[in-house]
Amino acid sequence: MSGLGSFIQGAFQGYQFGEGVKDTKRRRAQQDKDSQWQDESRGRTRSVWDQQDQEFSQRQKAWEHQNAAAGRQEEEWQRADAERAFKQEAFKEAQDGFQNQMDPQGNPAARSVISDGQGPVDRQVTTAPDSEMQTVASGQQQRQDYPTPAPQPRSVAEATATMPGPNPQTEQPAAGMQPIAPAASTPPPDDGGAPSVEIAKETAPAPRSVTGGPISAAQRERGTQSFMTYYRENAAPKIEQYYLSQGDTQKADAWRKWMDAGQTKKHLKYWAGAVQAAAVGDDQGFIDGLLGAYDQIDDGYTILRDKSGLIKDDNGNITGAKVTFKDQNTGRVFSQDMSQGDIVQQGIYALSPEQMFETLYAQTTAATAARAKQQAGDQDFNRKVQLEVLKSQLSGNGMTQKDIVGKVMAEAKAIREANVIRAEPLTDDQIIAQSVANVSKTLQLTQQSFGPNGEVRTEPPPYR
C-alpha cells in the first residue's frame, strides 16, 4: 500500500513539474511578445522622431537656402551696378579716343575719312604747317560768308545722339534749339582739308552742321571701320577684363568668343555705322545701321525696309521713325512709331554689342538653369514612380518588374503632360497613384503580399 502511495505521490509531483514548465514557457512567450511589442513601439517612436528631425532639417535647409539666395541676389545687384558703371566709363573712354582719332584738328589723317580723300593728307599726327593752318582758317572764314538757309530742326541722330550706358540721357529738343545750318547747296571752298565736323564730342548731343554734300558710301565705310576697330581694340578688352575682375571667367570667355563670332561682327558693323552716322548727322545712315543691326537678331521678326523710315512733318522736319515688322512664323505685319528718344534708347543703347551679349547670356543661363531644374524634377518623379511600383508588388501577365515600371512610367508621363491644362492640377502622388491603377487594371496585374507566417498570398491590386 505504501508503494502505491509513493507512485501516486511521484506522479502528482511529475504532473506539477510539467505544469510548471508549461507555465514557464507561457510566461516566457508572453514576455517575448511584450518585449517585441515594446521594441516595435520604440522603433515606431524613433521613426516618428527621425521623421520630425528630418522635416526640421529640411525646413532649416530651406531657410538657409532662401537666405543664401537673397544674399546672392544682393551680390548680383551690386555686381550689375558696378558693371553698368564700368561699361559707361569704358565706352566714354572709347568714344573720347575715337573723337581724338577722328578730330581733323588733332589728327590730320582723319581728313581722309571726312573729305573722301581729297586734298593732301599727312599721316603723322603733327602740328600742321602755317600755310595749312592759313588754308584752314581761310576755308572757315569763307564758310561764314555763305548765306545760311532758314533754321530747321536738327536731325534725329544729332538731336538724340548718346553713347550706350546704364542710364542714357536723351536731350529733349527745346524751342529755338536749331542746327547751325544744313548742307549748303554749293560746297564751300577747301572742303577737302578743312575740319567740317566733330565726331561724337564727349558723347553728348550738341548742334553740329554738315558743311559738305551728303555722306558718301566711302566716307561712311571708313568711319564705320574706324569705330569698329577702336571698339574691338579698346572697349571690348575692358569689358572682358571687368568680367575677370568679378571672378566670372566663364562669362569673360563667352564674351570673347561672342565678339569673335561671324554674326556678331556683322551686328557690330551695322551698329558702329549707326553710331558713326549719328555723330556726323547722317540720318539715313543712322536708320540703315540700326535696321541692319536688328536684322542680325534671331527673335522671330524681320524689319520690312521698304515700309520703314523717318517720319517728317509738313515742313520736312524729322519727328521720329516708323518701323514695320513681320512675324516670320505667322506672317503678321505690324508697324511701330518711334519718337526721336525711342530711336536712341531702343537703337543705340539696346542694340549695342554689350547689351545684346548681356541679353543673350542671361537667356542662355536661364534656359540652362531651367533645364537642370526640370531634369532634377524628372529624376525625383521617376524615383517616386519606381518606389510606388515596388511597394505595390505588382506582378502577372508574364511581365517582369522592369516591364511594369516602364509601363507605369509611360502612363505617368502621359497623365503629367495632360495635367498642365487641368483646372485643378493633380499632385505628383496623385498622378503616380492613378498611373499604377490604370496599368494594373489594363494589364490585369495582381499584388503579392505575405501572410503573418511568411506565406505568399495573392490579392487584387489596391488601386482598382
Beta carbons of 239 and 87 less than 8 angstroms apart = yes
Q: Do 196 and 142 form a contact (C-beta atoms < 8 A)?
A: no
Residues 6+ apart with CB under 8 A from 435: 385, 408, 411, 412, 415
CA distance 316 to 337: 17
CB 386 within 8 A of CB 405: yes
Proportion of the chain above pLDDT 90, given as a percent: 2
Cell numbers describing residue 296: 542680325
Angle of helix 401-419 versus helix 428-442 axis, rounded to 10: 130
Mean pLDDT, residues 209-225 taken together:
65
Distance between CA 294 and CA 384 in Å, rounded? Answer: 47
Report residue 94's pLDDT band, with 50, 70 and 90 as the boundaries.
low
- In terms of Cβ atoms closer than 10 Å to its own Cβ (0-12, 13-18, 19+), residue 128 is middle
Spans of all domains in the chain: 371-459
Residue 272: all three cell numbers together: 558702329
Instruction: Name the residue with cell 572764314.
Output: 141
Q: Are strands 309-312 and 456-459 parallel, antiparallel or unpaired?
A: unpaired
Cα angle for residues 459, 460, 464 (degrees, 5° grid): 155
User: pLDDT-derived band of residue 416, with 50, 70 and 90 as boundaries?
Assistant: confident
Distance between start and end Cα atoms, the chain: 77
CA gap 14, 35 in Å, rounded = 31
In this structure, which amino acid lies at residue 421?
I
Question: 23: helix, coil or strand?
Answer: helix
Q: Which of 15-19, 55-59, 165-169 holds the top average pLDDT?
A: 55-59
Q: Residue 333's pLDDT is what?
A: 92
Q: Is the pLDDT of residue 13 over 80?
A: no
Please tell me the distance from the alpha carbon of residue 92 to that of residue 231, in angstroms, as a whole number: 11
The per-residue pLDDT for range 323-375, each reduced to its tens digit, is 888 988 899 999 888 887 777 667 777 788 888 888 888 888 888 888 888 77
Output 181 or 258, whichever has higher pLDDT. 258
Look at the alpha carbons of 260, 261, 262, 263 in this order and tell me if their dihedral is positive or negative.
negative
Helix axes 283-295, 262-280, angle to 10 degrees: 160
Q: Smallest Cα–Cα separation from 145: which of 178, 115, 105, 188? A: 188
Three-class SS string for 321-354?
A: EEEEEEECCCCCEEEEEEEHHHHHHHHHHCCCHH
Question: Which pLDDT belongs to residue 26?
Answer: 83
In sign, the C-alpha dihedral spanning 68, 70, 73, 78 is: negative
386 compared with 353, residue with greater pLDDT: 353
Contact 340, 156 (CB under 8 A): yes
* The length of the chain, given as a count of residues: 464
- Cα–Cα dist 274/220, whole Å: 10
Is pLDDT at 39 greater than 60 in this prediction? yes
> How buried is residue 87: exposed, middle or buried, by Cβ count under 10 Å (0-12/13-18/19+)?
buried
Determine contact, residues 445/399, Cβ cutoff 8 Å: yes
Most confidently modeled range among 52-61, 80-89, 243-252: 243-252
Please determine, for residue 450, whether its predicted confidence score (pLDDT) is greater than 80. no
Q: What is the pLDDT of residue 253?
A: 92
* pLDDT band with cut points at 50, 70 and 90 for residue 423: confident
Residue in this structure with the C-alpha cell 538731336, named with its chain if needed: 159
Q: Is 360 helix (H, G, I), strand (E, B) or coil?
A: helix
3-state secondary structure of 311: strand
